[in-house]
Structure formats: C-alpha cells, structure tokens
Amino acid sequence: MKKEIQVVGAVIQSDNLIFCAQRGPGKSLAELWEFPGGKIEAGETDREALEREIKEELQCQIKVLDKITTNRYEYDFGFVNLTTFNCLLIDGQPKLTEHIDVKWLPINQLKTLNWAPADIPTIDILLNEN
C-alpha cells in the first residue's frame, strides 16, 4: 500500500510574476519545476508548514493568503496530497539552497516549464482566473 504524503506549496507573487523553483538532482521528481513548499509535520497547520518550509528552503519570509486548491496525485513513491496557497513575499529574497534554478514568470508563461504533475492543477486554476 502506498503512503499518503501531505504537502503544501506556495504560489509566491510579486509584481504580477509568480515564483517557480526547479527541483535538484538526486531527489524524487528531479529537475521538474514546482511551487516551493514541503511536507506538513505533526502538529502543524497547512499555513504554519508553508511558512516554515519557505523559511528553511528559500531563506525568506512569506505571508500566506487564500487557499488555491488541494489535489491528490499518485506517484510511484506514494500519493501526494498538495494544497497550494497564494502568498506574498514579505521579507528577503529567495535563495537557492535546495533548488537548482528559479524563475519569476507571468501567469501566461507558467506552462513553458516542465512541472511536477501535482502542481499542474494549480497552474490551470491560475490561468483560468486571468
């Protein structure tokens, strides 16, 4: 039986651009693009986990706004339940610590990247809202 993994992702917006991060080699989903975030730890809310993950991974601070969506995707390593939130960058600039590349893109250019499958429903919602 595959494990269920609860994760959160930040759709960080600044100046009408969205922050995109490319996963590093040697990890699952290596070199695919994602909305940064990570696993929810025991006792954390979705929002607390997202703020912690962004601070750890990107060394900056965000304000978590409204929820975009939750979706479930089956990978070979388990089921990922991804909840994404609109976020604002409130302190610092994202730094590469775990990712190999980052880009700030307008919404209409998000599909030019090779995204992790679990992130695609969020992109579809963002495109439909604009």
- Whole-number pLDDT of residue 97: 87
**Domain boundaries defined on the chain:** 4-129
The structure tokens listed for 125 are: 């919602």
Of 83, 81, 109, residue with least CA distance to 20: 109
Residue 17 has pLDDT above 80, yes or no: yes
CATH class of domain segment(s) 4-129: alpha beta
- Condensed to tens digits (0 to 9), the pLDDT of residues 59-94 reads 999 999 999 999 999 988 899 999 999 999 999 888
Rounded Cα distance between 47 and 83, Å, is 10
Tell me which DSSP letter residue 41 carries: P
Percent of the chain with pLDDT over 90: 80
Averaged confidence pLDDT in the chain: 93
- Whole-number pLDDT of residue 40: 96
Rounded Cα distance between 113 and 121, Å, is 14
- Condensed to tens digits (0 to 9), the pLDDT of residues 93-112 reads 888 888 999 999 999 999 99
Element spanning 2, H or E: none
Q: Are 20 and 94 in contact (CB under 8 A)?
A: no
3-class secondary-structure state, position 86:
strand
Residue 116 has pLDDT above 90, yes or no: yes
Residue 130 has pLDDT above 80, yes or no: no
